[in-house]
Structure 1
Amino acid sequence: MSKLSNNSQAMLFGLGAVLLWSTVATAFSLSLRHFSPTQLLLVANMVSLLFLVSLIVYKGEIKPLMTVAKQTWKSSLFFGAINPFLYYLILLQAYNTLPAQEAQAINYTWAIMLSFMAVPILKQRLKPADYLAAGACYFGVLYISTRGQIGSLEFSNASGVAFALFSTIIWALYWLLNTKDKRPSLIGITLNFAFALPLILIFAGVTGELTQWDNNGLWGAIYIGLFEMGLSFVLWNKAMKLTTNASQVANLIFLSPLLSIIWLSQFAGEPILNSTLIGLACILVGLFVQNVAKKTKQST
């Protein structure tokens, strides 16, 4: 199979993952009308774990899974506690307190947070482009969180913005630590979900969220577990393995927040706010600047 053929397939797999990710904010918004963040995470985690284990069985890797689980149970518990347990619990709380369009836009600044956290963790150095990108992104966050009233500095929902920003710290931390993770990617993410499940169950039990359920939220939680936490991971991994130009595939991610706002307005009934569009534009400009700087560095 030619390189062109492989790249074409990679773009299709990447586009499939991005399209699935673009629907997640809508699924979060609709599901959280019926489930608490903890309940949504519990069901989605179980569905995702079932999907991932089925994939492991299909690939004939159940024995390696068990072997790695015995050898790395401490690190699997550690990574599972960060993601999916802590990350999604905080992210879903942001979606539960903010309009979904605002929560998802702020969440996209995790790449900027990753650059700054890489300084103490990976001993990397920041470039002028990183500061420029951060300025654009966090100006966008400020614009979104104040609904365009930057001069007043009155946040529409300060706690929701704090949850959304904190989720970017957790996600960036997870990926920075993940660079030192020696487990195979599919087995590693499967073990993360497996070891996170008892943590979520214990938390749900302590907070009294195992007793009352609204079945109307079930299908949304299943969708999130299957597509956001499961299939999209497989599609994206496949795309990155097939491509000879990772940056080209990675650029597809810029489509996701724009499509997400369309789905939110059409299916979740959220009116598109001008402040979200302007703030999101600033965030995307910042991410674009960072992306261009990375390409330039890699080519020199």
Structure 2
Amino acid sequence: MKDSTKGSIYALLAVLLFATLGTTFKLSVSRLDGYSVTVYMGSFAVLALFLNLLRTGEAGGVVAEFRRMPLFFILTGVIGLGVQQLLCIKSYEHLPAAQVVILTYTYPLMMIVLARLVYREHSSLRSVAFVLLGFMGVFILVSGGSLRGFEMSSGVLLSLACAFTFALFCVLIKHARFHVGIGMFLFNLFGLLFLLLLMPFYGFTWRIGAVDLLILLYIGVFPTALAFILWNRALQLTRTSHSSNFALLTPVLSLVFITLFLREEIVLSQVVGMSIIIGAVFLNLNFGDPVATVEGNLGQ
């Protein structure tokens, strides 16, 4: 089997795992409070990523890598896997899973704006037009296709804030050079430590049932640690641009899983809004300024 074929298989498996997050997040917040979900999920993710470092013999480099850029790992971890995770899970408490998935997938478009603001990266007129097109999709999604129906609810604000913080995380790691496996472990570790500091304000559910534990174990290990490992393996075998186009399947498959397992009704405005947003991301990936999805960024 050719390397490119293997890479495509790894990418597709990773995307399938990423696409289950919307369904499992919604299931988890219907059974537990959102804060407890993020802490359990973060704990399992940190453990799984550390075990992978032990498996590959790279755990001994964690301290040296952290000492090289301590402030970077702490702040980026808090932003991308602390604040963002909490905003994400809270979004699922306020909105249907399908709407959260579509809104949070605006982060690649926000990356273009943030790269311009933070790093003064040049944005072509085409890329600016594609970003505006993408946010037209957001407007259609939120308004239901009607000017009178537009409502910036708390759930919408949480979802867009989640997309913004994750876009900032991706932009920050895009220009940094670090060991990817160790970096992801450190990001998750400091994101978890940040969440633990919030425990006096949120409280925590210590006793959970076996079903809840299995759901949280799945979220923390499979769509995060395992999917990350598969995706980076794919990036070693294929071009980043090729893999990034695979990632466009994530929100589509997410809606399929949400429909099948949560029985949520997908309305026309959601389909139209999602199609415009994904189309804008695709156009930027292939015809605008280079921009990667989160999966692509984690592989750099």
1:130-183 deviation line (CA, Å, top 9, x unaligned): 12212221111111112222x20432x611111111112111111111134332
Specify which of 213, 220, 224 is matched with residue 215 of structure 2: 220
TM-score, scaled to structure 2: 0.91
Q: Which residue of 2 is the match for residue 111 of structure 1? A: 108
2-structure distance, mates of 1:105, 1:217: 25
3-state DSSP class of the match of 2:88? Answer: helix
Residue 59 of structure 1, CA deviation: 0.9
Aligned counterparts, 1:252-291, within 5 A: 252-291=246-285
Change (3 A) 1:158 1:174: same
Contact 2:123 2:289 in 1 (8 A): no
Summarize deviations over 1:66-97 as a string: whole Å, max 9, x none: 32234444332212211211111111111211
Whether 1:152 and 2:143 are equivalent positions in the alignment is no
2:45 aligned partner, one-letter code: S
**Kept in 2: contact 1:33–1:217 (CA 8 A):** no
Match of residue 238 from structure 1: 233
The answer to whether residue 36 in structure 2 is matched with residue 39 in structure 1 is: yes
Q: CA deviation at 1:247?
A: 1.5
Measured after TM superposition, the shift of residue 187 of structure 1 is 0.3
Q: Which amino acid aligns with 1:8?
A: T
Q: Which amino acid aligns with 1:34?
A: R
Tell me if structure 2 keeps the 8 A contact 1:32–1:217.
no
Residue of 163, 167, 179 corresponding to 1:172: 167
1:241 is displaced (CA, Å) by 1.2
Q: 1:164 to 1:219 in 2, by over 3 A?
A: same
Identical aligned pairs, as a percentage?
23
Distance 2:130 2:77 in 1: 30
1:141 corresponds to: 138
SS at match of 1:270: coil
The alignment's C-alpha RMSD in Å is: 2.0
Q: 1:125 maps to what in 2?
A: 122
The farther-off stretch of 216-225 and 68-77 is 68-77
In the alignment, what sits opposite 2:224? 229
Q: Is the 8 A contact 1:37 1:89 kept in 2?
A: yes
Structure 1 CA distance for aligned equivalents of residues 197 and 43 of structure 2: 14
Change (3 A) 1:211 1:13: closer
Cα separation, 2, equivalents of 1:71 and 1:111: 28
Q: Distance in 2 between matches of 1:119 and 1:203?
A: 32
Aligned residue pairs, count: 291
Deviations 1:45-69 (A, max 9, x none): 1111111111100111121113223
Structure 1 unaligned residues grouped into runs of 5+: none
Q: Which moved more, 1:192-201 or 1:278-287?
A: 192-201
Q: More deviation in 206-215 or 187-196? A: 206-215
Q: Which amino acid aligns with 2:129?
A: L
The two structures have a TM-score, normalised by structure 1, of 0.91
Cα contact 2:23–2:261 (8 A) shared by 1: yes
- Measured against aligned partners, the alpha-carbon deviations of 1:10-45 in whole angstroms (never above 9, x if no partner) come to 111111111111111111111110122211111111
